[in-house]
Structure 1
Amino acid sequence: MTLIERAIHKFFPRAGKAIRIVRTLFAKRALWQSIRTGVPVDGLGKPVPWITFPALDYLSRLDFSQANVLEYGGGQSSLWWAARAKTVTTVEGRASWAEMIRSRAPENLRLIGPVEGPSYVETPLQEGRVFEVIVIDGFLRPECARAALPYLVEHGLLMLDNSDWNAPTCDWLRAQGMMQIDFHGFGPVNDYTWCTSVFMRQKCAVPHAGGPWAAELYGNLEQRA
């Protein structure tokens, strides 16, 4: 905190809080950077998924090192998952996004695309593989959810972005015995709030990664004595 900011906090505490909120969202959470470029990143410039900050914070606290991830709809999220998971299979329908992902993909990231229509839904499932994480954030979301759910391991989780726009899909997933956990709020790039939801069965057993919350990334106050 600069001397000017300290003075504002001391003499104009409400204004000081407002300044801290702006700095947290626009700098530490890199909201301004993502708005300016249209590319979701964190405060260190690293790729992050285009989901709400609360959902991103939740997922960031889990250990996916042994997880195989299936992702419908790729981008920065593909690189984020690849840095954390054992394997990532990403299905992408847009040629420009597919080219970007392919040019930056590490060895554990397999890209399918660009593909459209039934192939978009069915191609990653044809081998019969099961996944610990299924991400639905692209085209044909209701169809992807219905087709992919049987390939989610009993203890895995399924993430649906923009769940506030996909109520029928949420209804169907809950009807299959899935628990819905909503993470509503701001996120990268957008100037509005939305909802990212995580669905899991009662036997979900994704381990917690542990460790501290990094103040330079999340904006929380450092522990005080």
Structure 2
Amino acid sequence: MFWGKFSEEQSTDNKLKSHAEAIEMPKGEMYLASCLNILRNLYGYVFSVEKGVAVDISGGYLPLYTYPTIEYLTQFDYRDKRIFEFGAGASTFFWMERAGQVVSVENNQDWYSKLKMQVKSNVNLIFAQNQHFPAAISSQEGLFDVIVVDGFGYRYDSAVQALNKLAPGGVIVLDNADWHPNTAALLKSAGLLQVDMSGFKPCESHTSTTSIFFRRDFDFKTLEQRQPVYAKGAKWIHSAEWDKTML
């Protein structure tokens, strides 16, 4: 197999073996190069690493969840939804552009002060430390459709509080769930449906797991008529003959 820019005529009679712009490689390595091209140029992974913040290829802010989680969550319409975050950051900007209301609690004073000057009017940014951090959600009126447990510390305690404020049909997002198995078990034991989404994240060089815990009546409206939408780098194919009854 060869990788490079060349014509069909140049690819005959083993001429590519001496072609200056052609690289000979095993098929597996060529497929890997194609996968890396998707990660680099469609997901914007390298751009995100160099920028030092979770962003997509166009510079739009992303939450620091796994890419499969981000792609799944971006399918839905949050314009009439309330979001609560334990831990603010790039994810706050992500939700700010999508949701009707965002409430984020942060326990780092410098980070809180920096974000406070940048958020829009649909964001309520709260500063709370120590035991007041996980309890911050309890002081909020009403329930939340999406609750994100992703703060610095207090993951388990935040999850306990989140269960009391989750709306019917809502979801709890637990980032780094593989590092917090007790917290994941707590949410699952509360009757929520656990879906683990493992993979790469923006800015990080290892895989991780972000888990989404669904109420059994979850039914958020999607932005597109079809679900799932095509993923980045996917083949745009509809197997129409197999996608209907053949009996």
For the criterion TM > 0.5, the same-fold answer is yes
One-letter identity of the residue aligned with 2:171: L
- The answer on 1:128 being equivalent to 2:141 is yes
By how many angstroms is 1:63 displaced? 1.4
Name the Cα RMSD after superposition: 2.6
- The answer on 1:26 being equivalent to 2:27 is no
- Secondary structure (helix, strand or coil) at the match of 1:81 reads helix
Paired with 1:202 and 1:103, the residues of 2 have a C-alpha distance of 38
- The answer on 1:160 being equivalent to 2:162 is no
The equivalent residue for 1:47 is 61
The equivalent residue for 2:213 is 199
By how many angstroms is 1:59 displaced? 0.2
By how many angstroms is 1:62 displaced? 1.3
Paired with 1:105 and 1:161, the residues of 2 have a C-alpha distance of 22
**Cα distance per residue 1:105-142 (max 9 Å; x no partner):** 011011002x2111111223213321011000013010
From 79, 87, 90, the counterpart of 1:73? 87
Structure 2 counterparts to residues 1-225 of structure 1, below 5 A:
4=5, 13-113=27-127, 115-138=128-151, 139-210=153-224, 213=229, 218-223=232-237
Determine what percentage of the aligned residue pairs are the same residue.
Answer: 27
Cα distance change on mapping 1:9 and 1:83 into 2, 3 Å? farther
TM superposition score normalised by structure 1: 0.88
One-letter identity of the residue aligned with 1:91: V
Cα distance change on mapping 1:178 and 1:9 into 2, 3 Å? farther
By how many angstroms is 1:211 displaced? 5.8
The equivalent residue for 2:241 is none
Any gaps of 5 or more consecutive residues in structure 2? Answer: 12-21, 239-247
Q: Higher helix fraction: Structure 1 or Structure 2?
A: 1
Paired with 2:74 and 2:87, the residues of 1 have a C-alpha distance of 19
Paired with 2:233 and 2:90, the residues of 1 have a C-alpha distance of 22
- Secondary structure (helix, strand or coil) at the match of 1:62 reads coil
- Secondary structure (helix, strand or coil) at the match of 2:164 reads helix
By how many angstroms is 1:19 displaced? 2.4
Q: Which stretch shows the higher mean deviation, 182-191 or 94-103?
A: 94-103
Would you say how many aligned residue pairs link Structure 1 and Structure 2? 221
Paired with 1:118 and 1:12, the residues of 2 have a C-alpha distance of 56
**Cα distance per residue 1:7-26 (max 9 Å; x no partner):** 86999754442322112112
Q: Which stretch shows the higher mean deviation, 96-105 or 180-189?
A: 96-105
By how many angstroms is 1:168 displaced? 0.6
- Check whether the contact 2:137–2:161 (CA below 8 A) recurs between aligned residues: no
Paired with 2:174 and 2:23, the residues of 1 have a C-alpha distance of 40
TM superposition score normalised by structure 2: 0.81
Q: Which stretch shows the higher mean deviation, 17-26 or 104-113?
A: 17-26
- Check whether the contact 1:161–1:197 (CA below 8 A) recurs between aligned residues: yes
- Secondary structure (helix, strand or coil) at the match of 1:168 reads helix
- Secondary structure (helix, strand or coil) at the match of 2:171 reads strand
By how many angstroms is 1:4 displaced? 2.3
- Check whether the contact 1:156–1:200 (CA below 8 A) recurs between aligned residues: yes
